[in-house]
Amino acid sequence: MLDLLGVELIEVGRQQVSIGASKSINSKPLSLLLIEANSMQQSQRGWLHADPTYCVTVAFGIREFFLLRVKAIALALLSDSLGQSALRDVAQSVRQQWPMAKILILGRAVPALDDNLYDDEISQSSKQKEIRDMIEKLTPTFPGHGLHAFVPQKMRATD
């Protein structure tokens, strides 16, 4: 399967991984979780899949999100198109499963979310560069430095 830019994608469930040369030999792809209300919105962010600096897992809707089995993420992009209740439920779950992961809301977080449930928000109509800049701001080790994926709380060893 090829994306809009002609980059080959492998799809396993809803996870799509770009096959191509990495920008840096030492860099690992940044693990992103993208949750949209429906697949129609994904075409706006197809460039995320084409960029080898990202490993993107996509879920369409709250049901698919709760069926995901993702071990680690660095940043979750949550669309406000999910609706207030679903947005709140997904943000709470991300905070619980991956407490170190950052949450970026695509659209408006207020009034649906308390401040502790997200790190920043950006307009749904933001351009690629604006979204990339926000990802870099929220993940200061980007690209290729340090840990890019945070293991879920329940998978950590306990004393």
pLDDT by position in tens, the chain (length 159): 433 333 343 443 444 444 333 344 446 788 999 998 877 655 567 777 778 888 888 888 889 998 888 888 999 999 998 999 999 999 999 999 999 999 999 998 877 788 889 999 999 888 889 999 999 999 987 544 344 445 555 544 444
Output the domain CATH number for residue 126. Answer: 3.40.50.2300
With helix as H, strand as E and coil as C, how does 96-125 read? HHCCCCEEEEECCCCCCCCHHHCCEEECCC
Give domain status of residue 2, yes or no. Answer: no
Whole-prediction pTM value?
A: 0.71
**Domain count of the chain?**
1
Domain that holds residue 123: 8-154
State the greatest distance between any 2 C-alpha atoms of the chain, in Å, as a whole number: 48
The answer to whether residue 106 is domain-embedded is yes
